[in-house]
Amino acid sequence: MYLYLMRHAEAVDPGTDGAQSDSARALTEKGRRQSRRMGTALRRLGVEPDLILTSSLARAVETGRLVGEELDADAPQRALDELAPSGGAEAAWQALRRQQGTSVLVVGHLPSIARLAGWLLGCGDGEPLHFHKGSLAALHGDGNARNPAFEVEWLLAPGTVKRLAARGTHGEERS
């Protein structure tokens, strides 16, 4: 099973742009660019998720939608309460397992997405990976295990993706 764990892209501050609650915070224009770039990078890497799972908070739903659009993925997108910022790692894993995907993009928040990564990597509640806004970690492991054993394949930060997007397909700088 491949899991692509992503922290939502940059969102507006509470109380701005009509976001009266934390759950209603949409992405900023920068966040929308981060999401689209990540989708483009994933497409170039050959990532084809069969499912996109997000928390139900607006910024995670929007991040998942924009990444999926850039991937040109026909993957269904679903929101899971277990992916909320305060969600527990084991509960999130059990919810993910019930979805039966073999290549799944998961969009969440801190601290829960980092704790999920730590739990999948065998670090308990530790947070061995730092997720900047818009970062994505690719993990591979046994998706059928009750106590999973995943490994990190790679980690992409939005700044790296932005620098790669500024280069042409053969490594030359774009003008």
Helices (H), the chain: 29-44, 58-71, 89-99, 112-120, 158-165
Sign of CA dihedral 52, 112, 62, 9: negative
Which burial class, exposed, middle or buried, applies to 167 when counting CB atoms under 10 A from its CB (0-12, 13-18, 19+)?
A: exposed
pLDDT in tens, 83-108: 999 999 999 999 998 998 899 999 99
CA 48 distance to own-chain centroid: 14
User: For residue 28, what is the DSSP state?
Assistant: P
The rounded distance, in Å, linking the Cα atoms of 107 and 18 is 23
pLDDT, tens digit (0-9, with 9 covering 90-100), for 121-135: 998 777 889 999 999
pLDDT in tens, the chain (175 residues): 999 999 999 999 988 877 778 888 999 999 999 999 999 999 999 999 999 999 999 999 999 999 999 998 789 999 999 999 999 999 999 999 899 889 999 999 999 999 999 999 998 777 889 999 999 999 999 877 777 889 999 999 999 999 988 886 555 554 4
Cα angle 61, 124, 38; round to 5? 30
Q: Which CATH class is domain 2-101+108-165?
A: alpha beta
Neighbours of 6 (CB within 10 A): 28
Token pair 């670090």 is at which residue?
Answer: 123
Domain boundaries, the chain: 2-101+108-165
Q: Do residues 65 and 20 lie in contact, with contact meaning Cβ atoms separated by under 8 Å?
A: no
Place of tokens 């929308």: 32
pTM to 2 decimal places: 0.91
